[in-house]
Structure formats: C-alpha cells, structure tokens
Chain A
Amino acid sequence: MSSPPDSKRPAGAVLETWNRRLHYYLGLYFLLFIWLFAFTGLLLNHPRWSLARIPNDSNPAYERTIDPPRGGTDLDRARDVMRQLGLAGEIDWPQASQATGRLDFNIASPKQATQVRVDLARQHVTVQQIDRSLGSGLRIMHTFTGWRYTSAGTSRDWIVTSVWVVAMDALAAGLLVMVIGSYYMWWRLKRMRTAGSVALAAGWASCALFVYGFGFGG
C-alpha cells in the first residue's frame, strides 16, 4: 500500500517521515567513511597493534638537476620544484629557517612521504621518498588535514587536501544531523522514553565528566 503524497499529510507526519529517511540516507551514504574513521581510530589508539605500524623504510635517495626554481616566495619555488620533479602533496616546511642558497621542504600525502633538498646554486636536488602501503595510507587519511591548529604558519596548499577536509567536515555535519534527528525519533516513541532517557543521561554524564570534570583543579 503506498502512502499518500506529502502535500496531503499533516506537517508533523511529513517531518517525521523525512527525518527518518534523512537518518538512514545519510547513514548509508557515509557508511564507508564511518567505517574508515572507526577502524583507523582504533589503530591510532593502539599503536602497538601490528596492523597499526607504519613502516618508515625509505627508498634509495635519487638526485636530479633542475632548472632554477621560479617564483617570488619559497612556496612558489617549492611548487615549481615539485612540478619539475612530478611530485604532488601537501608542502611541509622544516622548523628551522632555510639556510642561504637552499630550499629544503617535505611533501606529505597518505601514500608517500618525501624529503626534497634543493641546492639552489648548483640547481641540484636530492629526493628521499617513503612509499606507504594501502593500509598505512588509509590510517594516515584519518589525520591528513594539512593543518596544525597550534602552528600559526600552516596552511593547506594542495587542492586534494582541501577537498578531503570538505569531505571530513561533511561527514561530521552528517553525523550531527543524524544524532539530532535520532533524538527526535526517540522522543516520538513513548514506549522507549524511560530506557532512552537512562541511556542518554549515562552517555552525557560520562562524556561531560571527561570534557569538564577533569579540568577542575591543577
């Protein structure tokens, strides 16, 4: 039996139907993303698990002669060096300031970590790379934001990172919509109000204890 069109139903019933649909539509769309962040979150929490280890064995370094890097800033020059070498990823600057006549930087992506050391006077570059397995790459995706909130100088400079960050934000927003929608669905189920209240109160109390409780004193 098909249900009547939305225009002929009371607003409350339409809201209820679409809230329920939105809950599982979002859940189904984001299912693999949720599983990715759940599994890799476990691995990040347990670095001693054999699955969690990320090998750091680098390939043999190689050297190239390049054209003088073009650009007015170190970032522009680094991008030009990457273009000449056919490398892609998020540029990560070493903490120490650049020595005269050098352009040293790292390139990060979940599948590869690269050190680039440029001797500007000799137009000579040394490249050291670490290739990651798919499993390691998936784990690195969890934390790959191109952003450190405590470092003033960091910014994203790879379009792929920016798109990935939008995907992470969308997942977070989707989860929030699902949770808020689930509160409404639960409240409409009178039979489950008591049990749900206990579960919700226990969840909020334990979460608030960690966020606020241990901030007191010291």
Chain B
Amino acid sequence: MTKTSGEKALYRWTRDFHLCLGLFVSPFVIAFAVSVFFLNHAKVDPAASSSVVTIRDVTIPPGLDVARGREAADRARELVNQAGLTGEIGFVRYVRREQHVVIPVSKPGLEATVDVDLERRVAVVSRRPTGVLESVAYLHKMPGPHNADLRGNWFWIRMWRWLADGTVYLLLFISATGVYLWFAIKAERRIGMALLAAGGLCFAGFVYVLAA
C-alpha cells in the first residue's frame, strides 16, 4: 500500500522533530543517566575536604528564631548573603538552648552549612566543594519530594525544576514519536514487537515483585 503525500509529510515532520528535540534534550538525558551510576554506587564522605571560615559581627535578621518554613529560609537568606554564599537553602534549624541557627546551603559544586551564634553574632561557614558527578547527581534529585514548602527558594533551582519537567515532556514526546517511526518500518515490526513484549514482561515482573 502506497503512502499518501499527507502521510509522507507527517512522517518527515515527525522524524525531523524527533531528531532536533532529541538532540536538544540529549545532554540532559546524559546527565540523568550518568548520575544514576553515581546515585547507585558512589560513596562520598560529607565531612571530608571542608573549609571552615568564621565571620564576625553578622547582622541577625529580626524574627529568625520564630520563623518557620519558607519564611525562615527567606530570612536566613540575609545571613547566607553575608557569608558570601549563593544556593538553595535547606531546612533551617533553630537550636533554642544554644541560641544557634544552622542553615544548610547547596548548589551544584558546593555543599555548605552556616552555623550562626545569635548572641555573639558570629557565623561559622563550612564549605564542601562537590565534583562534577556529585553536582549532576544533586541536580538529578532536585527539587525532589521533600520539604515542598522550602524547595525552589533559590531562583536557579526554580529554573531547574522547569528544565527537569521539560526533559520529561520531551522524553515522552521522543519516545512516542520513536514508536511511530519504528512502526512505519514494516520489516522491523516483528522483532520490535518481540522486544517491546520482552521489555514489558521484564517491567511487569519488577512491578509485581517490588510494588504490587
């Protein structure tokens, strides 16, 4: 059966979109794929290679000791700026008994903690530089399911959320168009079906054992 010109045009356009959007998203796919090996097998000592700097006479933002959630992160940002840091602020911990506030800050390439003595107005900043693989793994996990109220308090993590979502949508588009492009090749249908079924069986086995 011959294809109509409309079908041919659809095939050509689908193939070109599959190619161009696939090329655009490929670095993100590489980043997510490579970080899987890191997340599954690497070991990192979080206490190693930290530098510690003490900063005196920091200005304590008012209400830091009573603020919670996103408000605490926003107020802690003023202290983080004074420490010369940028990045996503994690769960801000107020230790009432010792009058300390502990602020975790992270971004690709860096994990840091700002420990502020509220009475003495002294901040101790511990920095741990992270390597490329750990940076990519960090992005893989961000913004993630935890601390939903807090996450995205740094502009670039909000941007990354958009890009990570975009990667998913593009991947779905590319996989769907890939199925269409494969199905158009009649000679490859049988073996393709067999592989699809084999993958489906394998997948169903995992779901049955792990989640069902």
* Given the contacts A200-B23, A211-B31, A214-B109, A152 and B212 also touching, CB distance less than 8 Å: no
Q: How many Cβ-Cβ contacts under 8 Å join chain A to chain B? A: 208
B199 close to A (CB within 8 Å) = yes
B97 close to A (CB within 8 Å) = no
- Please tell me the number of chain A residues within 8 Å of chain B, measured between CB atoms: 74
Minimum CB–CB distance from B21 to chain A (whole Å) comes to 7
Minimum CB–CB distance from B11 to chain A (whole Å) comes to 15
Known: A179-B33, A199-B23, A203-B25. 12 other contacts (CB 8 A): A27-B179, A45-B144, A111-B211, A147-B41, A149-B42, A179-B30, A183-B26, A200-B24, A207-B31, A214-B107, A218-B85, A218-B107
Residues of chain B within 8 A (CB-CB) of A218 are 84-87, 107, 110
A184 to B133, CA, bound (A): 25
List B residues 71-91 near A (Cβ within 8 Å). 84-87
Residues of chain A within 8 A (CB-CB) of B181 are 24
A21 close to B (CB within 8 Å) = yes
What 0/1 readout, one digit per residue, does chain A (206-218) give for beta carbons within 8 Å of chain B?
Answer: 1110111011111
Residues of chain B within 8 A (CB-CB) of A217 are 86
- The reply to whether B36 and A179 form a contact with Cβ atoms under 8 Å apart is no
B4 close to A (CB within 8 Å) = no
A14 close to B (CB within 8 Å) = no
**Does more than half of chain B's interface fall in helix, strand or loop, or is it mixed?**
helix
- The reply to whether B188 and A21 form a contact with Cβ atoms under 8 Å apart is yes
A218 to B87, CA, bound (A): 8
A200 to B21, CA, bound (A): 9
* Given the contacts A38-B172, A147-B40, A33 and B46 also touching, CB distance less than 8 Å: no
Closest to B201 in A: A32
A132 close to B (CB within 8 Å) = yes
A18 close to B (CB within 8 Å) = no
Closest to A144 in B: B210
Partner of A41, one of B30, B135, B139, B168: B168
Residues of chain A within 8 A (CB-CB) of B144 are 44-45, 47
- The reply to whether B34 and A36 form a contact with Cβ atoms under 8 Å apart is no
A111 to B207, CA, bound (A): 10
Which residues of A pack against B, CB within 8 Å? 21, 24-25, 27-36, 38-39, 41-45, 47-48, 52, 109-111, 132, 134, 137-138, 140-141, 144-145, 147, 149-150, 152, 160, 164-165, 167-169, 171-173, 175-176, 179, 182-183, 185-186, 189, 192, 195-196, 199-200, 202-204, 206-208, 210-212, 214-218
B67 close to A (CB within 8 Å) = no
Minimum CB–CB distance from B118 to chain A (whole Å) comes to 23
Closest to A135 in B: B211
B136 close to A (CB within 8 Å) = yes
Partner of B195, one of A28, A141, A149, A171: A28
Residues of chain B within 8 A (CB-CB) of A34 are 171, 175
List B residues 18-65 near A (Cβ within 8 Å). 19-34, 36-46
Residues of chain A within 8 A (CB-CB) of B86 are 214, 217-218
B191 close to A (CB within 8 Å) = yes
Minimum CB–CB distance from B86 to chain A (whole Å) comes to 4
